């Protein structure tokens, strides 16, 4: 697992370097004839691709490399990191901000898509479980313990729990509050309270 993650991360960094290098190598000989916006968009596409496939850190590397190559090879005076025209400072800043922001947004979209896919899978599994429970209850046990009486309420609460879980911020907040409000809890205290208040028995 760790090896696969490491290899995937290395592949992302390698793709970032090679992608920016390829775009630069193709466009640099024609820098006198290419519009700065065209070059910036080509570099930005590399950032978006890397962010979509490999995540934020390789995309950040692609953004930094793209900014440096854009400055060195395309903004006059070329082949230096000096920028003579103040407007080119604006162009460089705009490219840097856009590349980093686009990379992060692409990563976020990928994560949200993965979470949505996981939620759909969980819903399918829950539906299959409920269907098997229903079939077993009706066909094998003749609903001897009246499970179906609680099934609509169970399904309703499962749907609410699934919706709450998909709201990660709200779920985290509820989890923290739940832990904070637990108070004292132990099996001994619970059994004593059941014995005293529900079962009406005394300890031996």
Give dist(CA 14, CA 72) in Å, integer: 21
pLDDT given at position 19: 92
For residue 57, what are the contacts with CB-CB under 8 A and spacing of at least 6? 9, 12, 13
pLDDT given at position 23: 92
pLDDT given at position 164: 86
Give dist(CA 136, CA 143) in Å, integer: 9
Handedness of CA 115, 118, 119, 120 (dihedral sign): positive
Q: What is the pTM of this model?
A: 0.50
Q: Which residue in 50, 64, 52 sits closest to 13, CA to CA?
A: 50
pLDDT given at position 178: 81
Alpha-carbon dihedral of residues 108, 110, 103, 50, nearest 10 degrees? Answer: 160
pLDDT given at position 102: 73
> Which stretches of the chain score pLDDT less than 50?
none
């Amino acid at each position: 697992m760790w090896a696969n993650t490491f290899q995937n991360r290395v592949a992302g960094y390698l793709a970032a370097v090679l992608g920016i290098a390829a775009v630069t190598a193709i466009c640099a000989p024609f820098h006198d004839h290419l519009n700065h916006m065209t070059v910036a968009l080509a570099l930005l596409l590399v950032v978006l691709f890397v962010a979509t496939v490999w995540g934020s850190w390789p995309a950040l590397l692609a953004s930094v490399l793209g900014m440096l190559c854009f400055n060195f090879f395309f903004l006059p005076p070329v082949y230096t990191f000096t920028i003579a025209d103040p407007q080119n400072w604006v162009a460089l800043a705009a490219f840097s901000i856009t590349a980093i922001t686009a990379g992060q947004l692409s990563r976020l979209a990928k994560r949200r898509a993965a979470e949505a896919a996981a939620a759909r899978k969980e819903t399918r599994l829950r539906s299959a479980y409920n269907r098997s429970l229903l079939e077993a209850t009706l066909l094998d046990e003749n609903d001897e313990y009246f499970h179906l009486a609680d099934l609509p309420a169970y399904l309703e609460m499962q749907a609410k729990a699934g919706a709450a879980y998909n709201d990660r911020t709200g779920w985290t907040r509820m989890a923290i509050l739940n832990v904070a409000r637990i108070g004292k809890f132990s099996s001994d205290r619970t059994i004593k309270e059941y014995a005293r208040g529900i079962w009406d028995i005394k300890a031996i």
